[in-house]
Amino acid sequence: MPRGSVSIVVERCKACGFCVEFCPTKVLALSSAFNSKGYHPPHAVAPEKCSGCDLCGMYCPDFAIYGYRIDKNAKKEGEDDAR
Protein backbone atom coordinates (compact mmCIF):
# COMPACT_ATOMS: atom_id res chain seq x y z
CA MET A 1 0.00 0.00 0.00
CA PRO A 2 1.44 3.40 -0.92
CA ARG A 3 2.39 5.74 1.88
CA GLY A 4 0.63 8.61 0.25
CA SER A 5 -1.69 9.76 -2.45
CA VAL A 6 -2.42 12.85 -4.51
CA SER A 7 -5.62 14.72 -5.06
CA ILE A 8 -6.00 16.69 -8.27
CA VAL A 9 -8.42 19.52 -9.01
CA VAL A 10 -8.46 19.00 -12.72
CA GLU A 11 -10.20 22.24 -13.65
CA ARG A 12 -7.56 24.42 -11.95
CA CYS A 13 -4.57 22.86 -13.69
CA LYS A 14 -2.62 24.80 -16.32
CA ALA A 15 -0.20 21.98 -17.11
CA CYS A 16 2.91 23.90 -16.07
CA GLY A 17 4.70 20.64 -15.36
CA PHE A 18 6.16 21.58 -11.96
CA CYS A 19 4.55 18.66 -10.13
CA VAL A 20 5.67 16.16 -12.73
CA GLU A 21 9.24 17.46 -12.70
CA PHE A 22 9.73 17.85 -8.97
CA CYS A 23 7.98 14.79 -7.61
CA PRO A 24 10.89 12.98 -5.95
CA THR A 25 9.58 9.55 -6.88
CA LYS A 26 8.23 10.40 -10.34
CA VAL A 27 4.66 9.49 -9.56
CA LEU A 28 3.12 11.90 -12.04
CA ALA A 29 2.92 12.55 -15.75
CA LEU A 30 0.72 14.86 -17.80
CA SER A 31 -2.27 12.92 -19.03
CA SER A 32 -3.72 12.91 -22.50
CA ALA A 33 -7.04 14.06 -21.10
CA PHE A 34 -8.11 17.69 -21.34
CA ASN A 35 -9.74 19.93 -18.83
CA SER A 36 -12.29 22.43 -20.04
CA LYS A 37 -9.57 25.05 -20.67
CA GLY A 38 -7.68 22.65 -22.92
CA TYR A 39 -4.82 21.83 -20.57
CA HIS A 40 -3.54 18.29 -19.91
CA PRO A 41 -3.75 17.80 -16.17
CA PRO A 42 -1.37 15.35 -14.47
CA HIS A 43 -2.30 11.91 -13.32
CA ALA A 44 -0.54 9.40 -11.15
CA VAL A 45 1.28 6.92 -13.39
CA ALA A 46 3.12 5.29 -10.50
CA PRO A 47 0.76 5.80 -7.56
CA GLU A 48 2.42 3.08 -5.56
CA LYS A 49 5.53 5.25 -5.34
CA CYS A 50 3.70 8.17 -3.72
CA SER A 51 4.97 9.02 -0.25
CA GLY A 52 2.47 11.80 0.36
CA CYS A 53 5.29 14.33 0.78
CA ASP A 54 3.15 17.08 -0.78
CA LEU A 55 6.01 18.61 -2.71
CA CYS A 56 3.62 18.66 -5.65
CA GLY A 57 1.22 20.68 -3.55
CA MET A 58 3.97 23.10 -2.52
CA TYR A 59 5.03 23.63 -6.10
CA CYS A 60 1.67 23.84 -7.79
CA PRO A 61 1.07 27.50 -8.66
CA ASP A 62 -2.57 26.79 -9.39
CA PHE A 63 -3.49 24.97 -6.19
CA ALA A 64 -4.57 22.12 -8.42
CA ILE A 65 -2.78 19.22 -6.79
CA TYR A 66 -1.63 18.18 -3.37
CA GLY A 67 -0.29 15.10 -1.71
CA TYR A 68 -1.22 13.63 1.61
CA ARG A 69 0.01 10.79 3.74
CA ILE A 70 -2.22 7.78 4.04
CA ASP A 71 -2.63 6.84 7.67
CA LYS A 72 -2.07 3.08 7.67
CA ASN A 73 -3.76 2.75 11.04
CA ALA A 74 -6.89 4.66 10.10
CA LYS A 75 -9.98 2.47 10.29
CA LYS A 76 -11.71 2.03 7.01
CA GLU A 77 -15.47 2.36 6.87
CA GLY A 78 -17.24 -0.86 7.64
CA GLU A 79 -14.18 -2.59 9.07
CA ASP A 80 -14.92 -4.88 11.92
CA ASP A 81 -13.50 -3.74 15.27
CA ALA A 82 -12.85 -7.28 16.28
CA ARG A 83 -10.31 -7.89 13.54
Partner 1 sequence: MSSVAIPQNPVEPFLRSERMPHIWCPGCGIGTTVNCFTRALLDSKADLTKLAIVSGIGCTGRVAGYTNLDSFHTTHGRAIPFATGLKLANPELNVVVYSGDGDLFAIGGNHLIHAARRNINLKVICVNNLIYAMTGGQTAPTTPGDVITSTAPYGTYDPSFNLPYLVEAAGAVYVARWTTFHVRQLAKSMAEMFQKKGFGFIEVLSPCPTLYQRRNKMGDGLEAMKFYKQVSKIKHGCPTSEVALTKAGEIVVGKFVDRERPEYIGTMNTYLEKQLGERYVEPHTLSDDGGCCGGESEVFSCNR
* Position among 2, 10, 12, 49 found at the interface with partner 1 (CB under 8 A): 12
Considering only residues 38 through 67, tell me which ones interact with partner 1, judged by CB under 8 A: 39, 54-55, 57-63, 66
Closer Cβ to partner 1, 16 or 29, answer by number: 16
Amino acid symbol at 83: R
24 binds partner 1 (CB under 8 A): no
For partner 1, which stretch binds (CB under 8 A), given 24-32, 42-50, 72-80? 72-80
Three-state SS at 19: helix
d(CA 2, CA 27): 11
Three-state SS at 69: strand
* Position among 10, 17, 25, 43 found at the interface with partner 1 (CB under 8 A): 17
d(CA 50, CA 20): 12
